[in-house]
Amino acid sequence: MSKQLAAVSILVPTYEAGIDFFVGTLGFDLTDDIDMGGGKRWVRVAPAGAATGFVIARALGEQADQIGKQGGGRVWLFLHTDDFAQDHAAMTARGIVFEEAPRHEAYGTVAVFRDPFGNRWDLIQPAG
């Protein structure tokens, strides 16, 4: 039996804010946007060609307090690239602010950024 991780939910204030960031800023594909009725939608985004993506979850009620806190303040999202310099420059040009200068680690070239919701990410070009 084969298994793969299909998606992870990420809390956002509105579906539109999530789509604007993931599709408009990061350049992900909008793979699903299905009206579920009652103001609920099934919205899924993923990097081009990726098997795993995000289900954009509009936070309701007390969930709104958890937007940007799903990782407990740690980096919990890891975006791999095969051209760190190009993607770092493009992301910076689109308004993404990195918390640090790029650094070289044993596992690759990396820099931390925050999305507009407060989640911390690593942009990584793996070594080797």
Identify the domain containing residue 118 by its residue range: 73-128
Rounded CA separation 21/19 (Å): 5
What's the mean per-residue pLDDT of the chain? 96
Domain boundary (45, 64, 83) is at 64
Question: Domain tally for the chain?
Answer: 2
CATH number of the CATH domain containing 12? 3.10.180.10
- Would you state the pLDDT for residue 25? 95
Prediction pTM value: 0.93
Residues 88 and 45 in one domain: no
Total Cβ atoms within 10 A of residue 12: 26
| 35-55: average pLDDT | 95
Beta bridge partners of 57: 11
Residues 84 and 45 in one domain: no
Q: What percent of the chain has pLDDT over 90?
A: 97
Question: Regarding beta strands 40-46 and 108-114, do their DSSP bridges make them parallel or antiparallel, or are they unpaired?
Answer: unpaired
Rounded CA separation 31/47 (Å): 10
| 51-78: average pLDDT | 96
Residues 3 and 59 in one domain: yes
Residue with tokens 């009620």: 61
Query: Quick check: 120 pLDDT over 90?
Result: yes
Residues 8 and 47 in one domain: yes
Largest Cα–Cα distance in the chain?
49
Residues 40 and 83 in one domain: no
Residues 2 and 33 in one domain: yes
Query: Quick check: 15 pLDDT over 90?
Result: yes
Residues 82 and 28 in one domain: no
Tokens of 119: 């989640």
Query: Quick check: 2 pLDDT over 90?
Result: no
Residues 6+ apart with CB under 8 A from 111: 88, 98, 99, 100, 101, 102, 103, 122, 123
Domain boundary (64, 83, 105) is at 64
**Are residues 44 and 55 in contact, defined by beta-carbon separation less than 8 angstroms?**
yes
Domain boundary (13, 46, 64) is at 64
For residue range 84-102, what is the model confidence (pLDDT) as tens digits? Answer: 999 999 999 999 999 999 9
